[in-house]
Amino acid sequence: MISHKFEKKIGEKNLIFEINDLASQSASSVFVRYGDTLVFVTTNFSKEEIINPEFFPLSVEYEEKFYAAGKIRGSRYIKRETRPSDEAICNARLVDRAIRPLFPEDLQREVQLIATVLSWDGENDPDVLAVLGASLSLLTSPLPWQGPLGAVRVGIVNGEFKINPTYKEREESPFDLVISGVKRGGEILINMLEGGFEEVKEEKIAAAFEFAKPYLEALIDFKEEIQKKVGKEKIKITPKTLDPFLEKEIKEWLGQKLKLAILEKNTKGKIEEIKKELLNFLSEKKRDSLEIALSLKLFKKELTNALNSLVLKEKKRPDGRKMDEIREMYCEAGLLPRTHGSGLFCRGETKALSILTLGAPGDVQLLEGMEIVGKKRFMHHYNFPPYSTGEIKQVKGPSRREIGHGMLAERALLPVIPSFEDFPYTIRIVTEILSSNGSTSMASCCSSSLALMDAGVPIKRPVAGIALGLIKEGRDYQILTDIQGPEDQNGDMDFKIAGTKEGVTAVQMDVKIDGIGEEILKECLERGRQARLEILKIMEEVLPKPRETLSPFAPRILTLQINPEKIREVIGPGGKTINEIIEECGVSIDIEPTGKIFVTSEKEEAAKKAIAWIKNITREVKVGEIFQGKVKRIFNFGAVIEILPNQEGLLHVSKLKRFGIKNPKEAFKVGQIVPVKVASVDENGKINLSLASVLKPKKQI
């Protein structure tokens, strides 16, 4: 086996790349190791060219394997991995967003990268390794690609920035940021950001990039050295070009049409109309499929040129707004009659409706992934139905984009969600995008904040989000606040920033150019801060703080602390006791190992009844207390008397002699009510009873 191993210290550990011929039929493959976490990345591409004017045919898969963590998971009947987890889907998107902008425009091959986690040590996250492996796999493959890129995770440990912190360190860190970047003209440019924070200041994010620069540069230089040693010869791209006469004819035919279309109120409809006219124009001239595809590619390029000219030369935006102006906003809370909370946020033609549901502690989502095992009590799900863009499509399960956008908004909202101790409800928010024209994920942050406050969830502060765009040619650029329409589809950047008045809680940035430098990053962060405060002001006019009470349709949770040793008495043999309480009272009951009990019911009276029942079961009886007990069982040596639900004591025959009773079976019957007194409670909790008074005639219950 031919093998080449390359090693470099990054942060506190050595990063190891190994390139061998194990996946010998792939175009290229790389093993990436950091600690004992190992990711295997392969690259393959089609032999035939595919001319697709709409998008580059790249697919990225990120595969978590349970064996990597030494686990056997799944249902009782299915033990193999099935659909990827939400985390795996987001990691695949992370890789895709980092590498996609660096493919040359003229490359028209279908490309697939698969990152497989082969080993996971419980300390080092495989996601950044997948980005690094994808970069090197492309770099050493025959495919032309304008890398390499570096990628690191930045956290804050003991008040200081740290590269690639461990899981344990990340749990305690208020800062989690993944940065990937490239080197151009000796400068490090960011081409992808993904982060979640606990209300940090914008300056901290900019400082994290400055801190990461030397590590990004070291990784880029390291990969260039590897490419020189083991990189394969690149395939040559022969650009497919339009016949010059046809190109000239199309440009003349388009004239000012695209610029005028961009300025139309119904921009999307007008552009589609022009595209349809172009296709009819080409059909009349009997052009073949290749010429049609290249003509549509030219159409897209001319549309981008028209947008760039409008913004950079004429200093105008398609809808007439200033560069830092937000579209007209409208908010509403509590608009759905029976839900536990709802919020509507509209920004231009983008309209998001969020619906919140409160559940019992036991309604949490159970997580059993390769990395994450535990419970999730706050969930945000995002739906992007076809009607939101006026289209007809088959409605299936959530797409990768929907899962990614849902997770982004969830990350943005999580820092303001109250702790379980303060608010023991399970919280699920679903955002329905009713109409889409740019930045729906950030609109979902706003509508979800309104839904949380409408439901009476005591969040720290509301969260708002904004998307920033960029139009750049050479050194000339304009940052656009609240992008929509062609600014979103044909611009050079989509930078989403969410947060509160106090600071940023989430960021996500993608580019269509090589990347952005520190100057643009700082300007974007400041522009995002100003826009966020403006949006929050509008939201607070509608609902300034969480409502004082929960919705009358929301469940009520009552809590009770019991002695942990009494838990088994609440549960009963085979769950008999707890199931009886649940069925008779119409409640759900969750018990923690500490003895804390949560009783949830839509009716508060039902919850109170269950609490009283449990109190009786778990009550600590005291010596000298008198009870009207019920005879449960009778033996020669005495009678077993139930004094409280599931609490029994022994009335020993020796305690009956002074009443002239020699044989308990003659004095008692099962079901008889007997006045008894607690004589003693031993160290094991066993209760000894005595008669409290002279027996009345036997009474059968």
Q: Where residue 649 sits, what CATH number does that domain have? A: 2.40.50.140
Kindly state the average pLDDT of the residues 631-646. Answer: 88
Is 252 part of a structural domain of the chain? yes
Residue 698 belongs to a domain: no
pLDDT in tens, 125-160: 999 999 999 999 999 999 999 999 999 999 999 999
- 508 and 373 part of one domain: yes
Contact partners, residue 262, CB within 8 Å, separation at least 6: 271, 303, 306, 307, 310, 318, 485, 486
Tokens of 286: 């009997």
Indicate whether 238 belongs to any domain.
Answer: no
Per-residue pLDDT band at 161 (split at 50, 70, 90): very high
Of 132, 185, 109, 100, residue with least CA distance to 18: 132
Same domain for 584 and 684? no
**525 and 603 co-located in one domain:** no
Both 148 and 251 in one domain: the answer is no
- Are residues 367 and 513 both part of a single domain? yes
The token pair that represents 23 in the structure block: 């996946």
* pLDDT computed for residue 68 by the predictor: 95
Average pLDDT over residues 279-303: 86
Mean pLDDT of the chain: 93
| Residue 508 within any structural domain of the chain | yes
Task: Print the SS3 string covering 215-257.
Answer: HHHHHHHHHHHHHHHHCCCCCCCCCCCCCHHHHHHHHHHHCCH
The yes-or-no verdict on residue 695 having pLDDT over 80 is no
Q: How many domains does the chain have?
A: 5
Predicted structure pTM score = 0.90
Residue 698 has pLDDT above 60, yes or no: no
Residue 699 falls inside a structural domain: no
pLDDT at 526: 98
Burial class (CB in 10 A: 0-12, 13-18, 19+), 118: middle
Which of 206, 230, 254 marks a domain boundary?
A: 230
Please tell me whether residues 534 and 561 are part of one structural domain.
Answer: no
Q: What is the mean pLDDT of residues 588-606?
A: 95
Q: Which residue has the higher pLDDT, 69 or 286?
A: 69
Of 618, 649, 671, the residue that ends a domain is 618
| Residue 165 lies in domain | 3-230
pLDDT per residue as tens digits for the range 317-333: 999 999 999 999 999 99
| Residue 292 belongs to some domain of the structure | yes
The long-range contacts involving 299-304, CB below 8 angstroms and separated by at least 24 positions, are 299/53, 299/250, 299/254, 299/275, 300/53, 300/54, 300/490, 302/251, 302/254, 302/258, 303/258, 303/262, 303/271, 303/486, 303/490, 304/490
Q: Looking at the structure, do residues 614 and 632 belong to the same domain, yes or no? A: no
Residues 506 and 560 grouped into a single domain: no
Q: Looking at the structure, do residues 613 and 630 belong to the same domain, yes or no? A: no
User: What six digits make up the tokens of 216?
Assistant: 């990004």
* Same structural domain, 348 and 463: yes
Please indicate whether residue 400 or residue 1 has the higher confidence score (pLDDT). Answer: 400
Q: Identify whether residues 403 and 346 lie together within a single domain.
A: yes
Instruction: Answer whether residue 318 is part of any domain.
Output: no
The verdict on residue 323 lying in a domain is: no
Biggest alpha carbon distance in the chain?
Answer: 123
Residues 67 and 101 in one domain: yes
Closest CA to 484 of 539, 442, 421: 442
Confidence of residue 453 (pLDDT cuts 50, 70, 90): very high
- Rounded average pLDDT over 12-16: 96
Q: What is the pLDDT of residues 608-638, one digit of tens each?
A: 999 999 998 888 888 888 998 999 999 988 8
Beta bridge partners of 589: 599
- Say which CATH number the domain at 602 has: 3.30.1370.10
